Structures are given as structure tokens and as C-alpha cells.
Amino acid sequence: MQWTKVLGLGLGAAALLGLGIILGHFAIPKKANSPAPSVSAPQDLDLEILETIMGQLDAHRIRENLRELSREPHLASSPRDEDLVQLLLQRWKDPESGLDSAEAFTYEVLLSFPSQEQPNVVDIAMTLPPPPTVGPTGDIIHSCHRTEENVTGEQGGPDVVQPYAAYAPSGTPQGLLVYANRGTEEDFKELQTQGIKLEGTIALTRYGGVGRGAKAVNAAKHGVAGVLVYTDPADINDGLSLPNETFPNSWYLPPSGVERGSYYKYFGDPLTPYLPAIPSSFRLDPANVSGFPPIPTQPIGFQDARDLLCNLNGTLAPDTWQGALGCHYRLGPGFRPDGDFSADSQVNVSIYNRLELRNSSNVLGIIRGAVEPDRYVLYGNHRDSWVHGAVDPSSGTAVLLELSRVLGTLLKKGTWRPRRSIVFASWGAEEFGLIGSTEFTEEFFNKLQERTVAYINVDIAVFANATLRVQGTPPVQSVVFSATKEIRSPGPGDLSIYDNWIRYFNRSSPVYGLVPSLGSLGAGSDYAPFIHFLGISSMDIAYTYDRSKTSARIYPTYHTAFDTFDYVDKFLDPGFSSHQAVARTAGSIILRLSDSFFLPLKVSDYSETLRSFLQAAQQDLGALLEQHSISLGQPRVSKGSGPLKVRMLNDQLMLLERTFLNPRAFPEERYYSHVLWATRTGSVATFPGLSNACSRARDTASGSEAWAEVQRQLSIVVTALEGAAATLRPVGDL
């Protein structure tokens, strides 16, 4: 292989061609040409069964599932969350439509809640108290709303958790207000450049641009005492903000809506990194946990944000910082003398969040494989929501239940049993940081890593009803394409899901021509521990927006008390045909992965990604690397391919993704071990370890430790690629 020469900036096209040839050997052999020599009567994908399943996946039943699942708020570890555990167990143990077995696995995990007795408050107080002061003082002249407006009768009651920033510390900072745009590092630097004294202020930021918790981290570096976060109508409502323009009159977020969320930096239970949160496990002292926001933080609605922001004093904010609240955004600090509040008014933020150890369960159900029960096709979604969570996550759970019903019914009737095992999972406490799924991967690390064929995630099944959207690693592209070409798209016309999809997201592939474009997997849902920690080929499936019709950063009622059954039923997917489309897509993929004789994972599709990573490295980092004398010699030369037998081929396919794992590559990134898909801070779309190391080294001298780390990261990539090539060579070769 010529990788390293390319990486080390020798040549380009010839080497890339070589790569293509090696990976090209790994196209799936045609069945007719390669019968399995030692397995009699191989069970293969049965197109009749597939058609039966597609026909039985019922939009109406998905709707009824959703109605039941989203009937009550079901925050992680709440009584209603526990009720849903029982509901899942009951469905999966049903004698007519259940699975072979089902079980709940409970973990004791650290969650964060607002106090019921002492709600979090954000006030404006008139008088600046004489320093030093303790606690909020001064006459309250304005209070932000503590709850969302009860517009449909579902936004009230004790089970609707007050909007809060989970894991943000308690505290009662007070100070002059500043506006800090999205709270990125650059945003705070800009404020500094503008000469604004940030020490002791309260920073108002809007969602987007950077992770929730990062806003507080960035703010605290500048001495900011507290952070408020709101959702700007420009970012979520296509600019609309009036009550009659928003839910329940449209799908847009009402003025009082507040996005809740986890502000923890990592994922998994914060007290038990790398260990399952079973009762006996060692737990960190919460005081020693890193990754919680350093200062009190509270999310508010844009109605309250308008009151604050439109009264700010100071310089006009830059154009890109302006939003749709109907006024010119200024930077502060403090309020303008001619506004609603006096110029010396300050903002008091009183946060009373507390950490609690709570029980949270995963529910696992299995259909045992007939031929290879030790190969698992894993399909999952989380169960916990912030409030009713009709979209997030119940739309996915409604699909999960319909899929397990249809497959379970065939199973119980004796009509069908898959070749490999199918495992269904309902994860707990995802909203607090993918906790249930992460603890599961920690508890069964080796078993899952050795046996899991692929992980399929359907969290929010339907964001909007325009088109399919799939994120995944390259080996899953082919099975997604095969499945979606055979399913009719919802809506008018007679397009397949595939043909509809290609109209919205597409790219030009050197191998296939114009194809739908798969996104890459971040850490936004429960696939994260599977791809990053275990190295299992993963995908996330949903129906989503027509971007020509909305620029909303996510569906508008996300993580608010307005994410209800009626919201879905009236605005997101009336008729539930998009839900059905997702169920059919996922069902077809599950069946193909579990029943195909040859695993439909196409490792050769990694070549395009690697090619683009290499080109990016060359184009964007090449000159820089050369400048610091980083280049590499000629590595070993790979050899050609030969005849392969079915099981070895399948093992090679399944394990290719694992060869990219290196737990020693970037240990500071916690679970991230995949040398292609770890988090990337640099702007160059290439190998993340290399990209990050280059970003850090950029301003240091050649020969610095930072440049040594660049070289080490380069070697890690080369070793992983060579290891992948070794895994793909004929198994009996050296």
C-alpha cells in the first residue's frame, strides 16, 4: 500500500488507485459464483418474507404506539419511564407477537434535576448592591418565566420538569448582562476585542454553533459568572415569533418554549467512566468529575430573551450575531437607560439543580438466530424524554415496537427465524448523555465487540416528512441503498425512498455516479458508544426536512413541553406515512443484515472516504507538514486477493471496522477510539487525530512536542490502515 507516501505527501493518484484496487477485491461475491462449500442448505435472505414484513408494518399502529408512549412525560428514571419499561417487557414477552426473550438491565447512574421546592429563577433587579454581596439582592423589577405557557393543557402539572441545564452547578450569580452570540471561543474573544469587561457578568447566548456545555466553559475562561441560553426565532422558527404563528397554530416554537438538555461534556454515567454503573462499581467523587459546566447556567425562552436582549446597552453586535427578536442586538454590558429597565439593573441567576443517583433501565429483547446465534444485529433507541417527547424519542420507539411486533408475530407463528440473532434495545437516560447505551457497552464490551454485525439507531424517527436522512460509516451505505430502492416513498408520486432521497442529499461518487449522500456519525445519539468505543459499523436513520422550506436547526419544539402527540399528528407527519417509511427502511436493513448469507457490509465503500481524507490531508495540511519536515518512507506492499469462504469473508467484513479502533490513540478524548471518526476540532475533513494534532502544532516550532504528536498521529493512521489491509488479505496469507 502506498498510504504513507500519500500521507507523507509524496504522490497522489497512483497510490489512491492502489488503494481502490485493494478495497475493490472486497465487493460481495455473487452467490451463484461462490456457493458456501461447507455449510449445507444455507439460509439466505428470503424476498417473500421481506415483502410480507414490508406489507405488515402499519402506519396506524405506529400512531397508536406513539399516542401511548407520549401520553405522559417520561423523564429518565421517573415513574412513567418505569411504566414504559414494563410496557416494553410486556410487548416483547407477548405469546403471539413477542420475541424469544426480553429483560431489563438496570444501572445506578448520576442524573441532575432542578429542585421542585426551590425552582431556578432568572430575575432583573434594580439596584446594584454594594460589593461584596452574597446571593441575589435588589428590588426585582422583572422575572423570567419559570415554566412554559400551558397552551394545550399538556404544559402544566408536576411531571413537566422545569426547563434547566442538566449538570449545571447550583449557585446564585448576579451581574450585568452581556450578549455573547453562540458562546463560542471566538465569540468571547470578539467581546474582549470590543473592550467589553466580562468579569462578573451574566452572558446571554443562543443555542447552536457549539455544544451546550461548551458555552459555559468558554464563558468561565473570561470570568463570566453565569450563562443564559435561549433559542433565537431566526435559528428555529424561520424568523417567526408571534403566538399566532407558532404551535398550536403551526409547527413553530411558541415564545415560552425552552430547550432542555444535558450540559455534560462527555457521554456515559459521569461517575463510572469505562465501568458499568452496576451497584458494586467504583464511583468517582462527584467533586472530581470533569466535564460538568463550571458556572451556573439556565436556558430560557425567546420571549424572555427578547426582554433581556432588546434592552441591552452598548455597541451594536456584529451582523452575524443579529437574530429575529425584532430589535437590534447590542453587546452590553448592562441595560440602556431609555429601555424597560434602569441602567444599573443587573441579572440575578439562581440555580438550585442537584445531582442524584437514580436507577435507569435498558430493556433488551432478542430473536435468536437459527444458524449463527452468536452474530448480533443490534437495533435500538432510547426511551426517556425531557417531557412528553412525542418526537424525541417516542417517534423512534413507536417504530421500534411496530418492527418488533411484525417480526415477533412471524416468529411466534413459526413462519420465520433469522439466520443471525436480532437484538432490540430500549436505552435509558439517553438525554443525560447516552447513559444507558454507554453502560451497556461497558458491561458487555468484549462480547459485543466480538459478535455484533452492525448497530442500527432510530432515535427521532421523523424530524419532518420530506426525505430519508441516514448517517453511517461507509460499509453500511450499500445495504441502505439496497433497502431503500425497494420501498415506495410516502407522499405524492411513485418514487422509491432512494429516488426521493437523492433529490435532497446527493453526491457524485467516482465509483457509482450520483448517489444519496450519507452523513457521518457524531455523538448525538446512542450509536456513539457503538461506533467510537466498540468500533461497530453503525447507522442512524430518520425522515427529515426539505431545506428549501425551513432553516430550523432542528424541529422547533425539540426538548420542550410542546413536543406532544398532537404536534406530530397535526404538523410533523399527519397519517404517519413517514414513520412507516422509516419502519420499512429499518426493517429491510435488519432483515438483510440478519438473513443474508453474505453480510451486506461493503467494505470497499471505505475507499471513497479514505480517498477524501487523504486528499484533504494533502491539500490542506500538506504544505504545513512539509514545512515541518514530516514525511514517511515506503511502507510494506500489500498483496492480491484469492478465493474466500463464506464465514471468513463475513468475519472479515464484520471486523474491518474494528481494525480502525485504537484505545491508545487519543485517551484524553474518553471513549473516542476510532481513528477515522473521533471528534475533530480542526477544520480539515481528514483523519481526526492528525487534524487535531496539526491544529495544536500549527503555531509551534518544528521539533516541538506538538509536532512530534503530529508524527505519532500520522503513524497511528498508517498502522490502522495497514492493519485494515492485513485483515482484508486472504486469511491464510501472512
- Angstrom distance (rounded) from CA 372 to CA 392: 34
- What's the grid cell of residue 168? 449545571
Q: Which stretch binds a copy of itself (CB under 8 A): 71-79, 99-107, 186-194, 613-621?
A: 99-107
Binders of a copy of itself in range 533-592 (CB under 8 A): none
User: Using an 8 Å Cβ cutoff, are 201 and 224 in contact?
Assistant: yes
Q: Does 101 bind a copy of itself (CB under 8 A)?
A: yes
Which residue from 43, 98, 148 is spatially nearest to 369, judged by alpha carbons?
A: 43
- 3-state secondary structure (DSSP) of residue 165: strand
Which of 340, 450, 566, 620: binder of a copy of itself (CB under 8 A)? Answer: 450
Place of cell 412525560: 73
- Angstrom distance (rounded) from CA 728 to CA 724: 6
User: Which is nearer to a copy of itself, 701 or 734 (by Cβ)?
Assistant: 734
- 3-state secondary structure (DSSP) of residue 119: coil
Task: Enumerate the H helices of 70-104 as residue ranges.
Answer: 79-92
Instruction: Identify residue 503 by its one-letter amino acid code.
Output: R
User: Which is nearer to a copy of itself, 123 or 442 (by Cβ)?
Assistant: 442
Q: Which stretch binds a copy of itself (CB under 8 A): 244-252, 275-283, 506-514, 579-587?
A: 275-283
Q: Which stretch binds a copy of itself (CB under 8 A): 19-27, 251-259, 606-614, 646-654?
A: 646-654
- What's the grid cell of residue 604? 470497499
Active-site residue flag, 245: no
Which of 27, 47, 514, 708: binder of a copy of itself (CB under 8 A)? Answer: 708
- Binding residues for a copy of itself, rule CB under 8 A, total 71
Question: Rounded to the nearest whole angstrom, what is the least distance from the CB of residue 394 to a copy of itself in the complex?
Answer: 24
Binders of a copy of itself in range 282-321 (CB under 8 A): 282, 284-285
- What's the grid cell of residue 558? 425539540
User: Which is nearer to a copy of itself, 124 or 716 (by Cβ)?
Assistant: 716
Angle formed at CA 414 by CA 412 and CA 419, multiple of 5 degrees = 100
Backbone angles phi, psi at 175, to 5 degrees: 180, 180
Which of 276, 301, 380, 393: binder of a copy of itself (CB under 8 A)? Answer: 276
User: Using an 8 Å Cβ cutoff, are 336 and 352 in contact?
Assistant: no
- Angstrom distance (rounded) from CA 210 to CA 227: 14
Q: Which stretch binds a copy of itself (CB under 8 A): 65-73, 178-186, 388-396, 443-451?
A: 443-451
Place of cell 418514487: 495
User: Which is nearer to a copy of itself, 31 or 729 (by Cβ)?
Assistant: 729
- Binding string to a copy of itself for residues 26 to 45, with x set by CB under 8 A, is what? ------------xxx-----
Task: Enumerate the H helices of 247-336 as residue ranges.
Answer: 302-309
Local structure of residue 679 (DSSP, 8 states): -
Which of 33, 446, 508, 681: binder of a copy of itself (CB under 8 A)? Answer: 446
Question: Rounded to the nearest whole angstrom, what is the least distance from the CB of residue 319 to a copy of itself in the complex?
Answer: 45
- What's the grid cell of residue 350? 439562581
Which of 404, 421, 426, 525: binder of a copy of itself (CB under 8 A)? Answer: 421
Q: Does 278 bind a copy of itself (CB under 8 A)?
A: yes
Q: Does 510 bind a copy of itself (CB under 8 A)?
A: no
- Angstrom distance (rounded) from CA 58 to CA 202: 51
- Binding string to a copy of itself for residues 321 to 360, with x set by CB under 8 A, is what? ----------------------------------------
- What's the grid cell of residue 276? 458499568
- Binding string to a copy of itself for residues 357 to 386, with x set by CB under 8 A, is what? -------x-x-xx-xxxx------------
Which of 658, 675, 690, 692: binder of a copy of itself (CB under 8 A)? Answer: 658
User: Which is nearer to a copy of itself, 271 or 541 (by Cβ)?
Assistant: 271
Which residue from 668, 687, 665 is spatially nearest to 677, judged by alpha carbons?
A: 687
**C-alpha 507, offset from chain centre:** 22
Which residue from 628, 631, 632, 633 is spatially nearest to 705, judged by alpha carbons?
A: 628
User: Which is nearer to a copy of itself, 506 or 715 (by Cβ)?
Assistant: 715
Local structure of residue 258 (DSSP, 8 states): -
Q: Does 442 bind a copy of itself (CB under 8 A)?
A: yes
Which of 103, 186, 356, 626: binder of a copy of itself (CB under 8 A)? Answer: 103
Question: Rounded to the nearest whole angstrom, what is the least distance from the CB of residue 369 to a copy of itself in the complex?
Answer: 7
The strand ranges marked E within 344-440 are 346-350, 354-367, 372-382, 420-427
Catalytic residue from among 402, 430, 431, 608: 430
Which of 19, 196, 661, 697: binder of a copy of itself (CB under 8 A)? Answer: 661
User: Which is nearer to a copy of itself, 178 or 716 (by Cβ)?
Assistant: 716
User: Which is nearer to a copy of itself, 55 or 667 (by Cβ)?
Assistant: 667
- Angstrom distance (rounded) from CA 543 to CA 61: 18
Residues assigned a catalytic role: 430
